[in-house]
Amino acid sequence: ETGVTQTPRHLVMGMTNKKSLKCEQHLGHNAMYWYKQSAKKPLELMFVYSLEERVENNSVPSRFSPECPNSSHLFLHLHTLQPEDSALYLCASSQGQGRTEAFFGQGTRLTVV
């Protein structure tokens, strides 16, 4: 079983809705990540938190808002999304910087209608 859990696994939302994705890691890692995986495109790194501080924000639109209240939890708040935001959103965690293995959650498959 993965040490990184994401909820919900599937989400359908309208363009005017507000929803949140949740990620929890049970591995004692100090870095957490949000990735977006669209069909036939590489994983795109969205945000990185290290020790609860955001250290990377890869030009992500403001309709995506991350929150990291502690080293074990990561949220992605969604509002006024567009249909092209439909994708698989993956959370990952690692110990230290990018030299170590990242463990992924099973993802939230998001559909914006």
Partner 1 sequence: RKEVEQDPGPFNVPEGATVAFNCTYSNSASQSFFWYRQDCRKEPKLLMSVYSSGNEDGRFTAQLNRASQYISLLIRDSKLSDSATYLCVVSGGGFKTIFGAGTRLFVKA
> What is the contact surface with partner 1 in residues (CB under 8 A)?
2, 31, 33, 35, 40-43, 45, 48, 50, 55-56, 90, 97-99, 101-107
Residues whose CB falls within 8 Å of the CB of residue 89, separated by 6 or more in sequence, listed in order:
6, 21, 34, 35, 36, 37, 76, 107, 108, 109, 110
Give 17 or 56: the residue with its C-beta nearer to partner 1.
56
The minimum distance between CB 62 and partner 1, in angstroms, equals 21
Contact 93, 4 (CB under 8 A): yes
Rounded to a whole number of angstroms, the minimum distance from the CB of residue 109 to partner 1 is 8
CB of 79 to partner 1, least distance (A): 25
Closer residue to partner 1 in complex, CB, 50/78 = 50
Using the minimum distance from each CB to partner 1, give the nearer residue, 31 or 110: 31
